[in-house]
């Protein structure tokens, strides 16, 4: 039988596109229910009333797709709460319309490029998370330039980096360079490496700072835990 745990497990694959973190971990899932007949409803909430509608649309649409793919789900409803564009987003996702159609006359196009841009940022942030421990352990930048993914000690950060690179079609096998250009997939040579690592660090710092701000705003707005949320509300 499909239960709430199955729905939450599917929602763990739905990420805030800017923060590259699951909506469950972030506390964005206000509620999650499924009836005995297989009717699933997910209610999402965001840190502010004016969160960017394109980001919100991606999360609602991805949540719909994730829950619909769960075995035993007959009907899916995803509702974004307390957002200025909730009606357009909820209606568009329910009708399986794209972003441009849902915001007719207000949107320039679909969100594929936006999604790609954020995955590239996730690759850069992930590069810093993987490389910082190596540098702290005494590896030189010249040595990093020669490493492959298979040479790198296993870790959750490495798995995450591989996954994001695979999403972009970038090299992600064991024999792939650890350091690649997030657009072309080409290896980063020793000469270009210092600048590449500085950009990776800046991307990671900005992403984590934004995540901290979002968590603070969400906990201020809603004094309750989200479904599947691990962190305590403070």
Q: Are residues 164 and 85 in the same domain?
A: no
Evaluate if residue 45 carries a pLDDT over 60. Answer: yes
Confidence of residue 88 (pLDDT cuts 50, 70, 90): very high
Q: In the beta sheet, which residues pair with residue 31?
A: 43
Q: Are residues 102 and 119 in the same domain?
A: no
* Domain-embedded: residue 220: no
- Kind and range of the H or E run holding 187: none
pLDDT tens-place string over residues 5-43 = 999 999 999 999 999 999 999 999 999 999 999 999 999
Q: Are residues 122 and 183 in the same domain?
A: yes
**pLDDT attached to residue 106:** 85
The CATH number for 48's domain is 3.30.300.130
Domain range for 168 is: 113-211
Q: Are residues 98 and 142 in the same domain?
A: no
Half-sphere exposure of 197 (CA within 13 A, CB side): 19
Q: Are residues 16 and 68 in the same domain?
A: yes
Q: Are residues 61 and 145 in the same domain?
A: no
* Domain-embedded: residue 218: no
* Domain-embedded: residue 163: yes
Distance in angstroms (rounded) separating the CA atoms of residues 216 and 63: 23
- Kind and range of the H or E run holding 32: strand 29-34
Inter-CA distances, 123 with 33, 161, 182, 193, Å: 33, 6, 7, 15
User: Integer distance in angstroms from the first to the last C-alpha of the chain?
Assistant: 35
Report the share of the chain in percent with pLDDT over 90. Answer: 92
Where does a domain end: 75, 92, 109?
Answer: 109
Q: Are residues 17 and 71 in the same domain?
A: yes
**pLDDT attached to residue 34:** 95
* Domain-embedded: residue 217: no
Nearest 10 degrees: CA dihedral of 201, 205, 211, 216?
Answer: 170
Indicate the pTM of the whole model: 0.93
Q: Are residues 51 and 137 in the same domain?
A: no
Q: How many domains does the chain have?
A: 2
Evaluate if residue 234 carries a pLDDT over 50. Answer: no
pLDDT tens-place string over residues 146-190 = 999 999 999 999 999 999 999 999 999 999 999 999 999 999 988
């Amino acid at each position: 039988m499909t239960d709430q745990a199955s729905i939450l497990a599917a929602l763990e694959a739905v990420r805030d596109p800017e923060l590259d973190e699951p909506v469950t971990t972030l506390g964005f899932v206000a509620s999650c229910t499924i009836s005995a007949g297989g009717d699933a409803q997910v209610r999402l909430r965001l840190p502010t009333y004016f969160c960017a509608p394109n980001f919100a649309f991606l999360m609602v649409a991805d949540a719909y797709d994730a829950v619909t793919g769960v075995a035993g789900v007959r009907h899916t409803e995803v509702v974004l709460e307390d957002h200025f564009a909730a009606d357009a987003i909820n209606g568009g996702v329910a009708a399986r319309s794209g972003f441009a159609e849902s915001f007719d006359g207000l949107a320039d196009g679909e969100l594929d490029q936006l999604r790609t841009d954020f995955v590239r940022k996730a690759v850069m942030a992930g590069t810093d998370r993987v490389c910082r421990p190596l540098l702290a352990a005494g590896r030189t930048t010249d040595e990093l330039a020669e490493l492959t993914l298979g040479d790198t000690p296993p870790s959750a950060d490495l798995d995450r980096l591989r996954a994001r690179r695979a999403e972009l079609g970038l090299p992600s096998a064991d024999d792939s360079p650890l350091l690649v250009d997030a657009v072309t997939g080409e290896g980063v040579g020793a000469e270009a490496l210092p600048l590449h690592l500085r950009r990776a660090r800046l991307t990671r710092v900005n992403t984590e700072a934004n995540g901290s701000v979002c968590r603070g705003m969400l906990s201020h707005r809603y004094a309750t835990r989200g479904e599947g949320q691990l962190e305590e509300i403070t």
